[in-house]
Amino acid sequence: MNVKRRLIFVGIFFILTFSIILYRLAAIQLIQTESFSAKGVNLVQESVNQRTQEVVIDDGRGRFIDRNGDSLRNQVEPSLVLFPFLKEVSWPVEKLSEAINVSSNELKRRLQNIKEPLVLSSKDGVNLSSEDLAKINKLEIPGVFGIYRQSPIDETVGEHIIGITGENAKLLRKKYPDRQDLSYKTQIGITGLEKTFDEFLLPDAQTKLLYHVDGDGNPLFGVNVKYIADSNPFYPISVKTTIDKNLQSIAEDVLHKQKVDKGGVVLLDIESNEVLAMVSKPELNRSDDRTLMNYMLQPLFPGSIFKTVISAAAIEYGLNDAAREFNCSLNLYGENDGGQDDGMLSLAKSFAKSCNYTFTTLAGELMEKDINALEDTADKLGLLGPVGWQGEVFHYQHFKQLPEEKAGRIWGDEKDKNVPKAIDQTAIGQKNVKVTPLGVANMMATIARGGHKQQVKIVENILYKNGTNMFSFTSNSLKGEKISPYTASKLQELLRLVVADSEGTGRRFQTLPIDVAGKSGTAQTGKKNAKGQDLYNKWFAGYFPSSQPKYALVVVEMDTTSDEAGTNASFYDIVNEISKTVR
């Protein structure tokens, strides 16, 4: 009886196992042939791919261009394509050699060990023109093609702005369940604008050269190569950014020259409030997750940059008596610790020399007048954010151009508003005050415009392949109250004095060919380097030309010792380079 039961169990086990195998085979061969597993693998297509070799001319993903239409990531480059089967057949290599001015021996040498199609361009020492491509294709040699191929630009700019793409089949299927036509190998946006505009950038179809091979890689149906092109006149789209490629390159080159290893730059067009350049350091390295963050969108300790807010609030609340003087030989807590010896200074002079005691005194008086004075004024200046463009885009009700941007803050605990020392530390941009470099740039642009605050835009249009407009991003005002024109005017005077005064913290910029207005900042971070030295965030933020403002610029170097900071030198060099283009 036991033997019989065992035989029954064994039989059932084998039947179940065989059924599972049959089902698996059926799934592979019949049921899930076009969407197998969680990745949605197209088994039919993969089986075809095993018997084909191809050259992808264009992967079909959308592009990014700058405000002038110049590509920010890819370029179309004249290229020569040679297929592997040329090694095994007789073909007029001398005619091709004569057409492109590359020796026949060199062409044969390059073909010797290839197993996949060979693509040659300027990077490989083969410089071709449109005329050369015409000559190549006129020869009509099977397996030899002259094409324009999409390839990465040698020196790309705006890496953190554009972001990166990668393969993630599970996320692809989750985000786009209706796009079963997409291969599980389709690249999707991981960071930056690649992620933000991913749905618009997804490929419609690839453009490629393709031929069939047997198991040894030999032509299966002769030497005919098939050209598969995307005939859609609308896709791929182009995302037209507000970035100026030349200005972006200037900013990146200057930071490299001044050895700013952590920090960055934000440059805005004051009239339109558009981003002309944005650089984040360290440089993006997709194999190191620590480099993926765009620090220009992250809240940082601002230090004395925040005194701009205290000054604005003092003006708004009528505490800016020009005749009043403050004892700037005292420290921020009103103590005479011997650390400073600046004597009695007016508000204007205190701002120029960045006297701590003046602004802790004013902050205390402001808190007595209005417990929310500081955050309300910061909001009026367009500092706290998020300040990036947001609005309705097709079916997106709250589309954000810069979704990675974080909001700034002033208070970590509401109880601190009643603690004198906490108010003092807050007044000089320490304690819990953190704002983004983008927010600081927006504040400077707001002041330069006379108090009008706007959303910051980094993308202007989405364009169809044929150049027609798919969507335009309007210029939007930031909601909420704003500072008065009078306050803006007085702040402009204070910011100009920082540079114009012989003792101002920005006096270095007096030698620039155009006038600058701005404010410096040094913020303690609470960190130390390997030598035990304190590390700071070093800032300079302002606008220029000060008489007719055109650009708002912020430079910040993070986690640096005060002596090593390249902030002011970077600000100086960027303004100096841009001044050559200002008419």
- What the block records as the tokens of 122 is 């300027």
Closest Cα partner for 232 from 211, 206, 266?
A: 206
Amino acid at site 413: D
Q: Are 295 and 263 in contact (CB under 8 A)?
A: yes
Query: In sequence order, what are the residues at sequence separation of 6 or more whose Cβ sits closer than 8 angstroms to the Cβ of residue 23?
Result: none
Q: How far apart are the first and last CA of the chain?
A: 103
Q: How many residues does the chain have?
A: 583
38 DSSP 8-state letter = T
> What's the gap between Cα 319 and its chain centre?
41
The domain spans of the chain are 51-85+103-241, 245-579
Q: How many helices (H) and strands (E) does the chain have?
A: 18, 21
Dig out the tokens for 91 from the structure: 């073909």
CA 461 to chain centre: 17
Q: What's the Cα-to-Cα distance from 128 to each of 86, 101, 147, rounded to whole Å? A: 21, 9, 10
Tokens of residue 266, six digits: 């934000």
pLDDT tens for each residue of the chain, 583 residues long: 566 777 777 777 777 777 666 666 655 455 554 554 555 544 444 444 445 677 788 888 999 999 999 999 888 889 999 988 888 888 999 999 999 989 999 999 999 888 888 899 988 888 999 899 999 999 989 889 898 888 777 778 999 999 999 999 999 999 999 888 888 889 999 999 999 999 999 988 888 887 776 655 555 545 566 777 766 788 889 999 999 999 999 999 999 999 999 999 999 999 999 999 999 999 999 889 899 999 999 999 999 999 999 999 999 999 999 999 999 999 999 998 877 789 999 999 999 999 999 999 999 999 999 999 999 999 999 999 899 999 999 988 899 999 999 999 999 999 999 999 999 999 999 999 999 999 999 999 999 999 999 999 999 999 998 889 999 999 999 999 999 999 999 999 999 999 999 999 999 999 999 999 999 999 999 999 988 999 999 999 999 999 999 999 999 999 999 777 899 999 999 999 999 886 5
Sequence-separated (6 or more) residues with CB below 8 Å from residue 310: 359, 362, 363, 366, 374, 427
Other Cβ atoms within 10 Å of 562 Cβ, number: 11
Q: Name every residue whose Cβ is closer than 8 Å to that of residue 486 and which is 6 or more positions away in sequence.
A: 315
Separation CA 101–CA 118 (nearest Å): 18
Q: What angle do CA 373, 374, 375 make, to 5 degrees?
A: 100
Beta strands per DSSP E along 353-425: 390-393, 396-400
Residue-wise burial string across 449-481, b where 16 or more C-beta atoms lie within 10 A, e elsewhere: bbbbbbbbbbbbbbbbbeeeebeebeeeebeee
Query: In 10 A of CB 497, how many CB atoms?
Result: 17
Three-class DSSP labels, 295-349: HHHCCECCHHHHHHHHHHHHHHCCCCCCCCEEECCCCCCCCCCCCCCCCEEEHHH
Cα R_g (the chain), whole angstroms:
31
CATH superfamily of 245-579: DD-peptidase/beta-lactamase superfamily (3.40.710.10)
**Residue pair 411/378 in contact by the 8 Å Cβ criterion:** no
Give the ranges where 433-555 is alpha helix by DSSP (H). 437-448, 485-500
Residues catalogued as catalytic: 304
Sheet of 52-58: strand order equals 52-58, 207-212, 226-228
- The residues near 213 (Cβ < 8 Å, ≥ 6 apart) are 51, 52, 53, 85, 219, 220
Query: What's this model's pTM, rounded to 2 decimal places?
Result: 0.87
The strand pairing partners of 388, in sequence order, are: 456
Q: What is the pLDDT of residues 103-152, one digit of tens each?
A: 999 999 999 888 888 899 988 888 999 899 999 999 989 889 898 888 77
